[in-house]
Amino acid sequence: MYRERPAENDQEHIEDLIHLYIDGAFDRRELLKRVAVYTGSAAAAVAAVGPEIMAQSAPPTGTPANASVPENASDVQWFWVDYPGETGTLRGYFTRPRFETQRLPAILVIHENRGLNDHIKDVTRRVARAGFVGLGVDLLSRVGGTEQFSNPTAATQALTGITPAQQLADLRSAIEFLKVADFVRPDRLGAVGFCFGGGVVFSLAFNVSELVAVVPYYGTPPNPLPSLDSLSPKLLAIFSETDYNQNSRIPELLAGVVQRRKTVGLHLYQGTGHGFHNDTGAVYNANAAADAWSKTIAFFNTHLNA
């Protein structure tokens, strides 16, 4: 039956589907098909998705030269690692420069709300190509790992069942693993996260003193903000122009860190939408993504290689 306006709970499902589309989980046709289940018709699905999403270009077919790092890259070594967690074994995707013999700073890579997928593995390999050890954490480890889910919607739903406290505990376990891992300088640890993972990085910044530098991409700062005195690592925050909810928190965040003389950088990229760094998603912006990644690596080089 046709419904002019989706029910409140249906609207939440629609927003989740739009978010998955932006992150590259499926194409626009599949988005409208899934939204129509809640709206009752294709026309209502188009209206529910909104003109801004409908006007976005199709997902890209490739990435700029040297952006992506393939699994068989000769300069990067990767392997799966298991390490103990609060309630069992956790799993991560470990990367390093193949021919480096010295211990290196390490960077946690925290995925979007679809789990540790191929895109985030690629980003973790990019960390290694930049000269760091990378650990792509799988925050779905508690429920069997990302690979147990046949579609991104199921992975997202499973992730919502893992509480922020549990996520923080698993990330602390990842940090403890890195502190004793081969190839790693235990006193030079950082973190980068995207979307959901960006919000997690903000949480880490206020709760984990072992981190030296962190870079959240379009993550939502905690609300309310914890005491800025508890912000331990150096912070570089990446935002997109149309992320209005996240951007509304910028003035409070900046005022607090400046008042306390904390090291902070912030870049808001005009003409971009949430998820612009994801080269498998619908709103990928190659120029902004390249610039943001360059700034990210420079930031880590400055503070982790000191």
User: Across all residues in the chain, what is the average pLDDT?
Assistant: 88
Residue ranges covered by each domain of the chain: 8-54, 76-304
With residue 10 as reference, give the H or E element that holds it.
Answer: helix 8-22
Structural contact between residues 75 and 97, judged by C-beta atoms closer than 8 angstroms: yes
Give the three-class secondary structure for 240: strand
Give the contacts of 43 (CB within 8 A, at least 6 positions apart). Answer: none
For residue 254, pLDDT beyond 60: yes
Strand pairing report for 104-110 and 133-137: parallel
pLDDT at 130: 95
Model confidence pLDDT, tens digit, residues 80-99: 999 999 999 999 999 999 99
Report the topology of domain 76-304. Answer: Rossmann fold (3.40.50)
Task: Using the structure block, give the residue that is written with the tokens 């509304």.
Answer: 248
CB atoms within 10 A of CB 277: 27
Structural contact between residues 299 and 191, judged by C-beta atoms closer than 8 angstroms: no
Model confidence pLDDT, tens digit, residues 111-165: 999 999 999 999 999 999 999 999 999 999 999 999 999 888 999 999 999 999 9
Q: What are phi and psi of 246, to 5 degrees?
A: -65, -45
For residue 57, pLDDT beyond 80: no
Stretch 266-292: mean pLDDT: 92
For residue 59, pLDDT beyond 60: no
pLDDT at 4: 43
Tell me the whole-structure pTM to 2 decimals.
Answer: 0.83
Stretch 285-294: mean pLDDT: 94
Comparison of pLDDT for 274 and 15, the residue scoring more: 274
pLDDT at 154: 93
pLDDT-derived band at 7, boundaries 50, 70, 90: low
Structural contact between residues 235 and 265, judged by C-beta atoms closer than 8 angstroms: yes
3-state secondary structure 39-65: HCCHHHHHHHHCHHHHCCCCCCCCCCC
